[in-house]
Amino acid sequence: MFELTFVDAVLAGRATAEDVDDWIERWHTTDTGDTELHEFLGLNEDEMGLWVSANATLEQIIARRETRG
């Protein structure tokens, strides 16, 4: 498995939303087993749908996480 998701890294200040392409590339080139992209990024299925289909930005999705605590 992997030690840190993209969302966790952003929340910890170790990545920014702009780094998502690098994380997607890592998902494509790393043996992540059966891990789906949304899991690797640390998004639930609803959040992934918002990002892909509803044009929500990763910044908006991550900000929701921050306010939920």
Phi and psi at 25, nearest 5°, equal: -60, -40
Summarize pLDDT for 1-60 with one digit per residue, the tens.
568 999 999 999 999 999 999 999 999 999 888 999 999 999 999 999 989 887 788 999
pTM of the model: 0.84
Which sequence spans correspond to the domains of the chain? Answer: 6-68
d(C-alpha 27, C-alpha 11), whole Å: 19
Number of neighbours of residue 1 by Cβ within 10 angstroms: 7
